[in-house]
Amino acid sequence: MDKVIASAAEAVSDIGDGATLSVGGFGLCGIPSVLIQALLAQGTTDLEAYSNNAGVDDWGLGLLLGAGRIRRMVASYVGENKEFARQYLSGELEVELTPQGTLAERMRAGGVGIPAFFTATGGGTQVADGGLPWRYDEAGNVVVASPPKETRTFGTPDGPREFVMEEALVADFGLVRAWRGDRHGNLVFRDSAQNFNPLAAMCGRVTIAEVEELVDPGDLDPNQVHTPGVFVHRVVELTPEQAADKRIEKRTVTPR
């Protein structure tokens, strides 16, 4: 039952080229930065990542992106990363832009074994009709576009409404960061770092968690556990320096 791995490098050692990853975090909040750096150092490439965003140019998934290690992104908000935009518009990166709530539910559905679900989000748009640019060529022509999705009309309290079928996401590996975790893999996320982390943990076939504080089984109040250990396969304890190394995406200050 002890799922603790000695190092981040060892924890990601079997993530091979071409793997799919679900990655927790929102912006730079709650991202598994140590596991990402270990994956960068390992040299793994041709990755497909499911994440709300791709970090920034010099941190988070932006490190893998800048090194040309990511082939495809399924993401929601990517506006803070100039290299992301450059790669997408130049045809180096395939991008499946997904509404944020839909992305969250696709991850959750993958974790609980639901293959697909219907949502009103995207109905009557290219999300449902198809044609969203997934990949460009060097000349700016769309060479891969989103396919049309199945739609159905369901009755609602406000009358019939069109709903779009979205398929679940299941990743080869899930990478998350927790505030506290025990040796059995039970995890607690702090404040807004909860964001996509529980969902990314759920939809990974093998989920790896880096934890800022490692405790013994029984030390966590079961009522406070956000992700049960059944979803987590490996735990990496961070050093105090690693735990404290957190970036601020945008800093706004008041003039003195």
How much is the average pLDDT of 88-96? 96
pLDDT in tens, 162-202: 999 999 999 999 999 999 999 999 999 999 999 999 999 99
pLDDT in tens, 102-155: 999 999 999 999 999 999 999 999 999 999 999 999 999 999 999 999 999 999
pLDDT at 249 over 90: no
pLDDT band at 34 (very low <50, low <70, confident <90, very high): very high
pLDDT in tens, 121-133: 999 999 999 999 9
Residue 29 falls inside a structural domain: yes
- Do 145 and 132 share a domain, yes or no? yes
- Do 30 and 72 share a domain, yes or no? yes
Residue 12 falls inside a structural domain: yes
- How would you write 110-164 as a 3-class SS string? HHHCCCEEEECCCCCCHHHHCCCEEEECCCCCEEEECCCCCEEEEEECCEEEEEE
Percent of the chain scoring above 70 in pLDDT: 100
Q: List residues bridging with 72 in a β-sheet.
A: 48, 94
Structurally, the chain folds into a number of domains equal to: 2
Global pTM reads 0.94
- Do 143 and 63 share a domain, yes or no? no
Whole-number Cα distances in Å, 82 to 66, 85, 86, 231:
10, 5, 6, 34
pLDDT score at 35: 98
* φ, ψ dihedrals at 31, nearest 5°: -85, 145
Write out the E strands in 157-231. 159-167, 171-182, 187-188, 204-215
Residue 229 falls inside a structural domain: yes
User: Residue 102 is part of which domain span?
Assistant: 4-115+168-244
- Do 104 and 197 share a domain, yes or no? yes
pLDDT score at 1: 86
Residue 95 falls inside a structural domain: yes
How much is the average pLDDT of 222-251? 94
How much is the average pLDDT of 82-108? 96
- Do 105 and 29 share a domain, yes or no? yes
Percent of the chain scoring above 90 in pLDDT: 91
Among 134, 167, 200, identify where a domain stops.
167
pLDDT score at 79: 80
Residue 249 falls inside a structural domain: no
- Do 161 and 172 share a domain, yes or no? no
Among 141, 167, 193, identify where a domain stops.
167
- Do 225 and 120 share a domain, yes or no? no
pLDDT at 45 over 90: yes
pLDDT at 78 over 90: no
- Do 10 and 42 share a domain, yes or no? yes
pLDDT band at 31 (very low <50, low <70, confident <90, very high): very high
Looking at per-residue confidence, does 187 or 250 come out higher? 187
